[in-house]
Amino acid sequence: MSPDSIRTYQRYMASLYLPYGVTAVRDVGSEERVMPLLLAWVKRTPTAPDYYPVGADLISPDPNHIPAPWQIEVADSAAAAAKVREYYALGIRNIKLYWRLREPAFKGGLLEAQRLGMNVTAHVDFNIVAADRALSLGLRNFEHVLAWLPLALPQRAIDSIYQDVGRRVRTADGQFAGFFYLAVPEEWNAVGANNPRLADFIGSLKQADASVTPTLHVFAQRLGLTWFTSAARDFNEDASHFSTSDRARAIAGYRIMASYVKRLHDAGVRLNIGTDTPDPGKSVLSEMLLLHDAGIPMGDVFRIATLETAADIGHGSDLGAIEPGRRADMVLFSGTPLTRPRDLLGPKLVIKDGAGLAQAADDPGRAHSPKLTFP
């Protein structure tokens, strides 16, 4: 990557993040072929968000799965540990373990990263490495509250839900449009609001001092519960054809999922802000509003979005608060979002490294994009 191309990408990414107050970003998996760009971005600049890459997502080989461009296969524990060391030697300090990683490689990558003092986050799902097992192995940063569903539902119940939802969303051309956004809420409907297995797991998370990135917006936006909705990128994200009754059931399931996020907070489990969607800066603001909608006070939502998230990407000592010795990153709101949460969406000034200044001159909720200017 030439210096000019790096600056071009930085400016583009800055437009997605800085106007919304996001000054630091942890990646969750990128193609290794763009590693020169990712590593060049680690060098801080006041005109783009700080960037912390994880390399590619680590997965196990599977004859029935073709790795996505941002996934790297590691055959066993030794290979996973070797890949972690390779990333560490490049200067990477965060690692992402994906649910397709089987236990020997999962354990090998996790323990090697921890030995090196790296931060590990993981999406554990489908009981390849169950969430409670991952916790017992030493994982402390969990992505996606939805990934716990296999702890509470037997596989036969999940299969039955998938078959029923598949019949309901199958389109005339044979596509299962929006399947994910109906099936997962139906799983939460089956789990219910007071599942003892999940209650026990929440207690275990607190005891282990673990953290969770809920990613509520990715579902809520498809159900009409957010202040903006990213355009569906393909049929998988198209929920426009849901019937009125299906949408109501999906919203009920989402509310149950959000209630477990509130229980996490009430139990003292650290939460983080993450998006897993396009329009990432806007999605951060939406995620904050959804946490508040779930019953979390706005003061605590701000702590989640600053101190707690900074700590769980390994920067709790230099990001997340306005104190001597920390980086001079600040967001100045024209409104009072602590008492009027939707003031998050109003005009704001974003100061990066005490020098760069991004100005959101208009409410990001309007149809046009906010302006981004630098000195």
In this prediction the pTM is: 0.93
CA neighbor of 258 nearest in space, from 285, 228, 225 = 225
| pLDDT value of residue 38 | 86
Q: Which residues of the chain have pLDDT under 50?
A: 361-375
Rounded CA separation 106/81 (Å): 9
Distances (CA, A) of 219 to 54, 184, 287, 290: 25, 9, 11, 11
Q: Which long-range contacts (CB under 8 A, 24 or more apart) does 121-125 make?
A: 121/26, 121/28, 121/54, 121/94, 121/95, 121/96, 121/97, 121/213, 121/312, 122/96, 122/97, 122/98, 123/96, 123/97, 123/98, 123/99, 123/147, 124/97, 124/99, 125/99, 125/150
Place of tokens 């030794």: 78
CA neighbor of 50 nearest in space, from 64, 58, 33, 38 = 38
| pLDDT value of residue 1 | 60
| pLDDT value of residue 158 | 96
Tens-place pLDDT, residues 167-208: 999 988 888 999 999 999 999 999 999 999 999 999 999 999
| pLDDT value of residue 181 | 96
Residue 133 identity: R
